[in-house]
Amino acid sequence: MFGKYKPMWGEKTQLKSSYDAVIIGGGLHSLATAYYLAKEHGITDVAIIEKNYIGFGGAGRNTAIVRANQRTQYNVPLYKEALDLWPVLTKELDYNLMFNNCGNLNLMHSEAAMKAARMTICTAQYHGVESHLIDAKEAKELVPALNISEDITFPIHGAMFHPPGGIVRHDAVVWGLARGASKYGVEIHQQTEATAINTRNGKVVSVETDRGTINTSKVLISAGGYSASLINKMMGIRLPVSVLTIQAMVTQPLKPLLNHVVSSGAYHCYANQTLKGEIATGAHMDQWPNYTTQTTAHYIKHQAEALSEFLPCLRGVRFMRIWGGLADMTPDMAPIMDGNDQVEGFFFNCGWGYFGFKSCSAAGKHMAEFMANGEAPNILKPFNLKRYEEHKLMGETAALVTYTPDN
C-alpha cells in the first residue's frame, strides 16, 4: 500500500539567485499564497523563505477554530469563502485536513451581549451564513456539560450557535499546502532568514537572506506575528499593530465529551475537543506587547477557574501542556492586506491576530490574485492600510480594544 516515502515538500535544494516571486515567512498565509500563485496564476517560480521550519509560528500553535460569523459585511464573505474551501482543499491537495464542522457555540452572559450577538447573527444570516441565537436551555442541550445555573460569576443567558464552523487540523493545512505548492514547483527554503528587501526607483529588485541575495520583482511579507516588525525594518512602513503573546493549552485526551466549539467572551475562554480527544482551550492575551511567546502562571490558573465555572465536569480533567504564540493585533481586529502601492512589487499581509488560521485559504487565494495582477481584488480592498490614516476602523469588534495603552 505504501512504498518508499518521498519528502513531502521536495528535496532540499540550493537557493537560486532569482525567482519570479519571493514570500517571506513559512506560515499558513504564505503557503496558501504560494499554492494559489502556482495553481491559479501559473506563477510557479516562487521561493518561500522560512527562518525556522514551516509551521513554526502561529501556523503550528493555533487552536484551529474556523467560523464565518464575523461582525461586518467586509469580513463575512471572506471568511465564508475560507470556510467553504476546507473540503475543496482537502480534495485538491489530496491531504486530509480533518475538517470537523461541529459548529461553534458562543456563550452570552448578559442582555447586552445577546443584543451584540443578534447583530452578528443578522449579518451572518443576511449573507447566507447559518447562525442562530439560542437560549441557555438550548445551549445545554447542545453541550450537556454546560453549567447554566445562576450561581456562577457570569451566568449564561444564551448563545450564538453557528453550525457550519468547527475545527481543522492545523498541521495538516501547513503540510498539505506545502506539498501542494511544491508539486507545482514552489521551493520551500527552511532554516533561511530574510534580512532585507532592496528597492530601486520605487520598485522591488531583490531580497537579502542569510544564504544569499535573491533577485525578484515581487515580494510578499506574510510572516504572522513577525510581519509588522519586518515591514518596519525592511520597508520603513509603520503599522498600527501590537504584538502580544497569546496562550493556549490542552488537557489529557478523553473520549468524546464536547461536540461543539464553546467560547465565552466574559470568561475569556474557549474550549473544544480535538479529534485526538484533548480539550483545547485558550483565548486570553497578555495585555502588554511582547514577542516572548512565554506562558504565565496566572493564565493557566485563570483558564482553570473559568472552565471550572461554565464546564464544571472538566475539573476532573488534567491539563497536559500550555504554549504561547504571537498575535499581531490591529486596532479594529481586522487584518491589513495591502501592497503594490508604496513600493511597486511589495505586498504585505498581516494583523491576523488570533484569527488568522480560519482565513488563510481565502486570504492566500486573493493575495495571490493581488500579486499576479498587481491590483487588489475587491474583496481585499476594505483591508487596506489607509483606513487607519482616515480614522475609519472596520468595526469588527464592537467594544473598544484595550490591549495597549495607546490604541
Ligand X SMILES: Cc1cc2nc3c(=O)[nH]c(=O)nc-3n(C[C@H](O)[C@H](O)[C@H](O)COP(=O)(O)OP(=O)(O)OC[C@H]3O[C@@H](n4cnc5c(N)ncnc54)[C@H](O)[C@@H]3O)c2cc1C
Contact positions toward ligand X, by CB under 6 A?
A: 24-30, 49-52, 56-59, 61-65, 193-194, 222-226, 230, 246, 248, 282, 325-327, 352, 354-358
In contact, 291 and 269? CB cutoff 8 Å? no
Q: Which residues contact 223 (CB under 8 A, 6 or more apart)?
A: 24, 25, 27, 30, 57, 230, 350
Minimum CB distance to other proteins smaller for 323 or for 344? 323
319 contacts which partner out of ligand X, other proteins, none, CB within 5 to 8 A by kind?
A: other proteins
- The amino acid at residue 76 is V
Site for other proteins in 46-65 (CB under 8 A): 53, 55, 60
Among 14, 200, 255, 378, binds other proteins (CB under 8 A): 255
Query: Parallel, antiparallel, or unpaired for β 279-285 and 242-251?
Result: antiparallel
Among 14, 200, 201, 400, binds other proteins (CB under 8 A): 400
Please tell me the distance from the alpha carbon of residue 164 to that of residue 397, in angstroms, as a whole number. Answer: 21
Query: In what helix (H) or strand (E) does residue 35 lie, and over which residues does it extend?
Result: helix 28-41
In contact, 347 and 338? CB cutoff 8 Å? yes
357 contacts which partner out of ligand X, other proteins, none, CB within 5 to 8 A by kind?
A: ligand X
The DSSP bridge partners found for residue 187 are 47
Sign of CA dihedral 335, 337, 342, 343: positive
Site for other proteins in 380-399 (CB under 8 A): 390-395, 397-399
Among 16, 17, 42, 87, binds other proteins (CB under 8 A): 87
Cell 480533567 belongs to which residue? 317
Residues 89-128 vs other proteins: string with x where CB under 8 A?
A: -xx--xxxxxxx--------xxxx-xxxxxxxxxx-xx--
Please tell me the distance from the alpha carbon of residue 258 to that of residue 145, in angstroms, as a whole number. Answer: 8
Min separation Cβ 53 and other proteins, Å: 5
Burial group, residue 45, by CB count within 10 angstroms (0-12, 13-18, 19+)? middle
Please tell me the distance from the alpha carbon of residue 334 to that of residue 200, in angstroms, as a whole number. Answer: 31
Site for other proteins in 294-333 (CB under 8 A): 294-297, 300-301, 303-305, 307-309, 312-323, 331-332
Min separation Cβ 203 and other proteins, Å: 31
Task: Centre a 10 Å sphere on the Cβ of residue 316 and count the other Cβ atoms it contains.
Answer: 7
Min separation Cβ 120 and other proteins, Å: 8
253 contacts which partner out of ligand X, other proteins, none, CB within 5 to 8 A by kind?
A: other proteins
| Contact range with other proteins by CB under 8 A, out of 140-148, 220-228, 358-366, 374-382 | 140-148
Query: In what helix (H) or strand (E) does residue 386 lie, and over which residues does it extend?
Result: helix 386-389
Min separation Cβ 114 and ligand X, Å: 24
Min separation Cβ 58 and ligand X, Å: 3
Cell 475537543 belongs to which residue? 273
Min separation Cβ 49 and ligand X, Å: 5
Min separation Cβ 227 and other proteins, Å: 22
Cell 453549567 belongs to which residue? 147
289 contacts which partner out of ligand X, other proteins, none, CB within 5 to 8 A by kind?
A: none
Residue ranges of the alpha helices (H) in 68-196?
75-93, 111-126, 136-142, 170-183
Verify binding: residue 401, other proteins, rule CB under 8 A.
yes
Min separation Cβ 395 and ligand X, Å: 19
Minimum CB distance to other proteins smaller for 205 or for 393? 393
